[in-house]
Amino acid sequence: MVEGFLSGLHASPLKGFSQEFADYRQYMPGDELKRIDWKAYGRSDRFYIKEYQEETNLRAYILLDKSGSMGYGEKISKLEYAKYLAASLAYMLIKQKDSVGIATFDKKIEEIIPPSARRTNLMMILRTIAQASAGGETSVHDVLFQLAQKIKRRGLVIVLSDMLDDPEDVLKALRSFRYRKHEVIVFQILDKDEKDFPFEESAIFSDLETDSEMVVTPGLMRSRYRKRFKEFLEFCHRNLLESHIDHTVLETTTPYDKALFAYLQKRARLV
């Protein structure tokens, strides 16, 4: 599937974008004044321009939510869907000779593999993805804050999560990556049932993270539930975009190839 994406997209949709300082050179008429290093001027009383070397390779970090709520799904769980996307993205990035790492988490960071472009690193990432199982409570915002502290070098952060946590806290945590100059992509993965609430008969609903239970009569709360969930999604989308964070909602009923190909085409148009 990913091989088809790479051959179909002429320019890489996930490009390296950072710069590294290379050297100084003397200011020449016509150079932009904003490129003058004023500290160097203060030391030498001469005008110098900083020159940079473009990095050709990207450093990407895939953050995979494996909390209990990600285990929901009848035909395929949200976690299974996220695992296929994570594996596809990791393979694509390695094929582009980019460095990629992964962290899996629920209430805490479970596994973390630093970014590398080596094929052996890809095999370690795929093994980690395959072994991830849903369980445990969610603390998306706490974990993201911790990871923002750990990820020092600027790169691309890809979050795969249902984001079923306090949205304001999650937003603050994601902004902490932006403060550190990372580019951030959020794939919010949901089951269709969570948006539509199609249930008909009264039933006992069980929390997949805390095991608490509640008797629910769907017909009495369907319209209110849908309204609240729509407001939740709109809040996430609006505030993430305002924070310059790329946000895409994916339902598990959408085939992987269509979901990923549509997203990469959108990225390619924006590059």
Domains of the chain: 19-54 (no CATH), 59-270 (3.40.50.410)
**What is the pLDDT, as a whole number, of residue 55?**
46
Quote the CA–CA distance of 97 and 115 in Å, as a whole number: 12
The answer, yes or no, to whether residue 53 has pLDDT greater than 60, is no
Sign, CA dihedral 227-233-235-241, equals: negative
**What is the pLDDT, as a whole number, of residue 30?**
67
The answer, yes or no, to whether residue 15 has pLDDT greater than 70, is no
CA atoms within 13 A on the CB side of 51: 9
**Between 201 and 23, the higher pLDDT residue:** 201
**What is the pLDDT, as a whole number, of residue 96?**
81
Percent of the chain at pLDDT above 70? 86
> First CA to last CA across the chain, in angstroms?
22
202 phi and psi, to 5 degrees? Answer: -60, 140
Find out whether 185 and 159 touch, Cβ atoms under 8 Å. Answer: yes
**What is the pLDDT, as a whole number, of residue 3?**
57
Q: For residue 65, what are the β-bridge partners? A: 105
**Between 25 and 4, the higher pLDDT residue:** 25
**What is the pLDDT, as a whole number, of residue 56?**
45
pLDDT tens digits along 126-166: 999 999 999 877 778 888 989 988 888 888 999 999 999 88
Q: For residue 99, what are the β-bridge partners? A: 59
Sign, CA dihedral 181-152-121-174, equals: negative
pLDDT interval class at 9 (50, 70, 90): very low
Average pLDDT over residues 217-230: 93
Between the alpha carbon of residue 140 and those of residues 109, 170, 202, the distances in Å are 10, 6, 31
**Between 89 and 45, the higher pLDDT residue:** 89
Average pLDDT over residues 192-217: 90
Average pLDDT over residues 184-190: 95
Average pLDDT over residues 37-55: 73
pLDDT interval class at 54 (50, 70, 90): very low
The answer, yes or no, to whether residue 103 has pLDDT greater than 90, is yes
pLDDT interval class at 269 (50, 70, 90): low
**What is the pLDDT, as a whole number, of residue 10?**
36
The answer, yes or no, to whether residue 7 has pLDDT greater than 70, is no
**What is the pLDDT, as a whole number, of residue 270?**
60
Tokens matching residue 188: 């919010």
**Between 31 and 14, the higher pLDDT residue:** 31
Average pLDDT score over the chain: 84
Average pLDDT over residues 9-33: 58
